Chains A and B, each alone.
Chain A
Amino acid sequence: MEKPFILHMLTTAKNLSPFDVNMAMDAGWVSAVPYINVEPSEVQGLVQDAIFSRSAKNLKRTGIFIGGRDTKQAMDMLKTAKRSMFAPFEVSVFADPSGAFTTAAGMVAAVERELRTKFNTTLEGKNILALGGTGPVGQAAAVIAAQAGAHVRIIGRQLEKAQQVADMCSNEFGDGKITITAGADADKAEYIKTADVVFATGAAGIELLSAALVASAPQLKVAADVNAVPPSGIAGVDAFHNGTPIEGSNSGAVGIGALAIGNVKYQAQNRLLKKMLISEKPVYLHFEHAFEVARDYIQSNAK
């Protein structure tokens, strides 16, 4: 008899995100079991405990999800989990701290779609400002976009912090193969003059790009905002916008709001959770894989 699907859900926080629990059950996992307040040092023990009570065949029906809030920590836990296993005692692992990896993937894939459909171009060589970009979503979006060939600048209130985050993104998440730069929020009026794309990934309810700055952007094409709580992060972009022209833009830029991004995020997370269920070989999933499936979804939806 085939054994039930179990997803062991690890988080460093004191609770799992109910969002992720719903997503896991809806993707087809039969049992989703929480492990909370998990220290990174406990990952090896938990993973090894999980793999030794099922045969190789039934381990295909077993998975590990890594939540939490911190991207670097989640990536480290993913690596530790992978290192703790050996063939044939291996299970799939998916890291998506705060949903940031799939949110970032959804945002970048939606931006890429708008660049293609409205401006007949790609992410390659575009100047991107990641406003409020030092948080989990901003980091992952910056790395995904840079890996697709964009020049990304992470903008934060403190230049020093933004620089640290940019360096970590380039070296840790990008393996040193990408270079993400940093800038101070105080200088964004200058940077906006050469920006093709803006990501707004700051805290909810803070306007990161004013109407005046939108108007002053001569080559802005797409502005994406993950903030669903008014006021919006980018003046003129509301949560429902999905390739909608931004009022007040002099360059004909379009906006993508939180709900449009959320839809692609949902699809990407669903696809990755399903991929773990059906994959013959164990898969280790993070922001790169989230972007792949987000792109797949957008392509299949375009047909």
Chain B
Amino acid sequence: MAKRSILHMLDPMPNNSPFDINMALDAGFDVLMPYNNVKLDSVRGLTQDAIFSRGPAGVKRTGIFIGGRDLGLAMDMLNASKQAMVPSFEVSVFADPSGAFTTAAALVTCVEKELKDKHGKELKDCNAIVFGGTGPVGIATGVLASLAGAETTLTDHLSIDTALDISKEYNRRFGATLKGTLAGSEADKARLVANADIIFCTAKAGIQVLSADVLKEAMRLKVAGDINAVAPPGIEGIKNDDFGAPLIHAINAQGAVGIGALAVGDIKYQLQHALLQSMLETDKPLYIDFRYAFDKAREMEFVLHADD
């Protein structure tokens, strides 16, 4: 009898995210096991405990999911888990803290698609600004855009030091070329928007980052993507369902289009579902981070409203 599939869900937080629990079960895992308050130095032991009780066939029905809220910690846990594997006793590991990796991969994929469809451009031709760029989704988005060749700047709304430190740290980690800057005042934002081909808005839910007044300053803006689903949107004028709708307040940027949070969320959902399924289908163990997620998203065919 085939062994039931098990997903060991490691989380540094006191609880797992119910979102991920639903996703994992819906992707076909039979049994979900939460592990809470997991410290980085426990990952090796937990991983080795998970791989040695099922035999080489059983490990294919076994996976590890890494949640939490912190991008760097999740990457460290993913690496620690990978390094703990022993040949022929290897399981797939998928890190997606706060869903940030799949959200960032979905956001950059959507923007890349619109850039190509509406403007015939590639990411490498573009100057990108990430507003709310120092949180998990912002950092992952920035790294992906930078690695794809876009001239990318992470902004923080409170501290230039935070923006600079984070850019430096993640450039070192992933070989990206991020810049960091402060986007505190309307004048800061206007100056940044004026030179942007792409705007990623990954700030906190329910906060308007870019007003119609600031958007008026955009001269060469092509695509803007927003992940905030709670009104007001991060970018004024973007609607949740927009996928390439004209950006009405960017009156000086011809053909600029917007992508709303539910459009990104729909792609994120399909991506996370596919990645979880791939852990069950693969012959070789997969180590899934935001870069892997982005590669997968770029080659996927997406449908609208996949879960209906």
Chain A residues engaging chain B, CB cutoff 8 angstroms: 3-4, 6, 8, 30-31, 33-38, 42, 46-47, 49-50, 52-55, 57-58, 62
B21: contacting residue among A30, A33, A37, A47, CB under 8 A? A33
B18: contacting residue among A4, A36, A46, CB under 8 A? A46
For residue A34, which residues in chain B have a CB less than 8 angstroms away from its CB? 34
A31-B25, A33-B34 are contacts. A52–B308 as well, Cβ < 8 Å? no
Q: B307 and A33: CB pair below 8 A?
A: no
Q: B16 and A33: CB pair below 8 A?
A: yes
A4-B25, A4-B26, A55-B308 are contacts. A50–B34 as well, Cβ < 8 Å? no
Question: Is B160 close to A, CB under 8 A?
Answer: no
> How many Å lie between the Cα of A36 and that of B31 in the bound state?
18
A53-B269, A55-B308, A58-B307 are contacts. A35–B16 as well, Cβ < 8 Å? yes
Question: Is B15 close to A, CB under 8 A?
Answer: yes
Shortest C-beta distance, A7 to chain B (Å), equals 10
Question: Is B14 close to A, CB under 8 A?
Answer: yes
A36: contacting residue among B14, B17, B307, CB under 8 A? B14
For residue A33, which residues in chain B have a CB less than 8 angstroms away from its CB? 16, 18, 21, 32, 34
Quick one: closest A residue to B24, CB to CB?
A31
For residue B308, which residues in chain A have a CB less than 8 angstroms away from its CB? 55, 57
Q: A36 and B26: CB pair below 8 A?
A: no
Q: A53 and B15: CB pair below 8 A?
A: no
> How many Å lie between the Cα of A69 and that of B53 in the bound state?
36
Q: A3 and B19: CB pair below 8 A?
A: no
For residue B19, which residues in chain A have a CB less than 8 angstroms away from its CB? 49-50, 52-53
Q: B15 and A50: CB pair below 8 A?
A: no
Chain B residues engaging chain A, CB cutoff 8 angstroms: 14-23, 25-26, 31-32, 34, 36, 265, 269, 305, 307-308
Can you add 8 more A-B contacts, CB < 8 Å, to A4-B25, A35-B16, A38-B15?
Answer: A34-B34, A36-B36, A37-B14, A50-B19, A52-B19, A53-B19, A53-B26, A57-B308
A-B contact list, 28 entries, CB within 8 Å: A3-B26, A4-B25, A4-B26, A8-B21, A30-B25, A31-B21, A31-B32, A33-B16, A33-B34, A35-B15, A35-B16, A36-B14, A36-B15, A36-B36, A38-B15, A46-B15, A46-B18, A49-B19, A50-B21, A50-B22, A52-B19, A53-B23, A53-B269, A54-B22, A54-B26, A54-B307, A55-B305, A58-B26
> How many Å lie between the Cα of A31 and that of B23 in the bound state?
12
